[in-house]
Chain A
C-alpha cells in the first residue's frame, strides 16, 4: 500500500462548486504539504502543516483552505472553484531528515 494517498485521483467540476481533496499518510510524519503543479511551472506551495495545531499559508494560498484533522490526514478545500485552479495537486510529507514523500496527485479540472 502507498504511504501517501490522495482522493480523488481525478475530478471535473464546475465554476463556483466547493471541492475537497483529501490526503492520508501512514508514515507517521508531522509535516504535511499541499502543492499545485501547472504546465511549464514548478510545483508551488499552497499550505503546509507541522502538526495538527500548526497550519501555515504557502506562496499561493488565496482561494484555498486546509484542515489537519489528525496527524495522518490533511485536506485541501476550494470554497468556490474557478477555472484557473485547474491543475495537478500533490500532497506530500516530510521526515525529520528533510526527505519528501509525495502522493500520486489529483488532477482537477474546473469548467
Chain B
C-alpha cells in the first residue's frame, strides 16, 4: 500500500466548476505539500501546511491531521489550471526529513 494515496487519478471538468482533489496518508507527518506540474514538466510548490487551512487566490488547501487527510480545492476553475497536482508528505526518516510523493491527479479543465 502506498503511504500517500491521491484521488481521483484523473479529473475532467468544465470551466468554472469547483474542483476538489484528495490526499490520504498512512503515517505521522511533519508537513504536507501540494505541488503543481504543468504539461511542460516543471514542478511548482503551491502549499506547505501542517494544520488547518491555507488560501492563495483561487486555491485552498486544508489538512486534518487526526484523519490523515488533505484536500486541494480550486474555485472558479479555468483551463490554465489544467495540470498534474501532486501531494507529498514530509516524513522524518533516520533523522532526516524526506518527502514521499503521491502519484498525482491529472486535472483537465475544458473551456
Q: B99: CB under 8 A from chain A? A: yes
A48 pairs with B41, CB closer than 8 A: no
State how many residues of chain A have any CB contact under 8 Å with chain B.
22
Contact yes or no, B42 A98, CB < 8 A: no
Interface set of A (CB-CB < 8 Å, partner B): 40-45, 48, 50, 56, 58, 88, 90, 92, 97-102, 104-105, 107
Interface residues on B, range: 20 to 34
Give the distance to chain A from B78, nearest Cβ to Cβ, in Å: 23
Q: How far is the CA of A105 from the CA of B63 in the complex (A)?
A: 29
- Identify the B interface with A (CB < 8 A): 2, 4, 30-31, 33, 35, 40-45, 48, 86, 88, 90, 96-104
Query: Which residues of chain A come closer than 8 Å to B44, judged between CB atoms?
Result: 102
- Does B96 lie within 8 Å of A42, measured CB to CB? no
A102 lies within 8 A of B43 (CB): yes
Chain B residue at minimal CB-CB distance from A98: B31
Contact in complex: B45, A101 (CB < 8 Å) = yes
Interchain CB contact under 8 A, A42 and B102: yes
Option from A43, A44, A97 in Cβ contact (under 8 Å) with B86: A43
List residues of chain B with CB within 8 A of the CB of A92: 43
A104 touches B41 (CB 8 A): yes
Contacts of A43 in B (CB 8 A): 86, 88, 99, 101
Q: Are B33 and A48 in contact (CB under 8 A)?
A: no
